């Protein structure tokens, strides 16, 4: 019998080294994650933290190979195959980089995408189901959840605009149709409700400075 979402939530835990933090950023393409990550790095360094910034998929030698395999795939992957590739990259990243780094005092890991990407992209937009994705994450090391997740929420049109301005070649997901992206946004908003104690939704159609200000206010409370 399948576990319910509330049962599955009990399998998750945050890192426990006092004074160390695990932060993730989420949002659709062009929502401004990389832009805000630079801001977060400065904020934490200025406060005397050791900072490690990583991205998903990737962040390890093995994970970067998987990133290449997924984002440059010309074959439509089965949603479960897609999901397991992201999880393989994540498990390796946790073992090699995240967990050892967070054992140090006053350290922070800032992660560009994590669990909520898989919940929104594979769970919701690819229709694997939120329960299925949570179930796959219930065992160590995948059951580690961030202390705080910033969900940068933008409408689809703005995502397209920003991608167009950047002008790079479309990858595996950027070539998806607007229906996929609508499900994605819905998925993220659902996750923000489900994990409301961890995920802070920010209106990222504001200027980068306005978005950073919201993050700063939240960090002041988090680091008290
Ligand atoms: N994926 C990933 C899954 O399907 N499942 C998973 O489990 C995981 C982990 C990763 C892909 O893999 C998928 C999701 C993705 O499709 P990626 O290359 O890492 O691919 O893609 P993104 O993370 O989406 O990278 P982007 O660069 O597109 O998005 P960002 O980092 O959110 O955006 P950023 O900061 O580079 O900004 C984009 C542009 O907008 C401007 C910036 O200057 C830049 O030009 N900008 C703003 N302009 C105005 N106002 C603001 N507030 C702005 N913020 C940024």
Domain ranges of the chain: 5-222
Report which ligand 1 atom has the smallest distance to the Cα of 35. 35
Report which ligand 1 atom has the smallest distance to the Cα of 70. 12
How remote is the CA of residue 62 from the centroid of ligand 1, in Å?
22
How remote is the CA of residue 45 from the centroid of ligand 1, in Å?
23
Closest residue by Cα to atom 37, ligand 1, is: 32
Burial class (CB in 10 A: 0-12, 13-18, 19+), 154: buried
Cβ–ligand 1 distance for 86 under 6 Å, the answer yes
The pLDDT score that the predictor gives to residue 71 is: 94
**Beta-sheet strands, E only, within the chain:** 21-26, 50-55, 107-112, 148-153, 199-203
The pLDDT score that the predictor gives to residue 10 is: 87
Q: State residue 106 phi and psi, 5-degree precision.
A: 50, 55
Closest residue by Cα to atom 2, ligand 1, is: 117
Cβ–ligand 1 distance for 31 under 6 Å, the answer yes
Which H helix or E strand runs over 217? helix 208-222
The pLDDT score that the predictor gives to residue 79 is: 96
Report which ligand 1 atom has the smallest distance to the Cα of 118. 7
Kindly report the CATH number that applies to the domain delimited by 5-222: 3.40.50.300
Tens of pLDDT along the chain (224 residues)? 677 888 888 888 998 888 999 999 999 999 999 999 999 999 999 999 999 999 999 999 999 999 999 999 999 999 999 999 999 999 999 999 999 999 999 999 999 999 999 999 999 999 999 999 999 999 999 999 999 999 999 999 999 999 888 877 788 888 888 899 999 999 999 999 999 999 999 999 999 999 999 999 999 999 98
How remote is the CA of residue 89 from the centroid of ligand 1, in Å?
18
């Amino acid at each position: 019998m399948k576990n319910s979402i509330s049962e599955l939530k009990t399998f998750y835990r945050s890192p426990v080294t006092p004074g160390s933090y695990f932060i993730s950023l989420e949002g659709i393409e062009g929502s401004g994650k990389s832009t805000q990550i630079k801001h977060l790095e400065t904020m934490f360094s200025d406060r005397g933290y050791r900072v490690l910034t990583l991205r998903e998929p990737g962040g390890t030698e093995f994970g970067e190979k998987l990133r290449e395999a997924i984002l440059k795939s010309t074959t439509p992957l089965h949603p479960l195959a897609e999901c397991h590739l992201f999880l393989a990259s994540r498990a390796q990243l946790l073992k090699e980089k995240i967990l050892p780094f967070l054992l140090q005092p006053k350290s922070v890991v800032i992660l560009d995408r994590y669990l909520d990407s898989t919940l929104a992209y594979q769970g919701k937009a690819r229709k694997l189901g939120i329960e299925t994705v949570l179930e796959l994450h219930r065992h160590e090391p995948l059951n580690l959840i961030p202390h705080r997740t910033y969900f940068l929420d933008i409408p689809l049109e703005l995502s397209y605009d920003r991608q167009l301005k950047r002008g790079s070649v479309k990858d595996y997901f950027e070539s998806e149709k607007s229906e996929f992206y609508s499900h994605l946004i819905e998925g993220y908003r659902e996750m923000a409700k489900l994990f409301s104690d961890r995920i802070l939704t920010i209106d990222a159609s504001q200027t980068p400075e306005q978005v950073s200000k919201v993050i700063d206010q939240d960090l002041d409370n988090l680091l008290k």
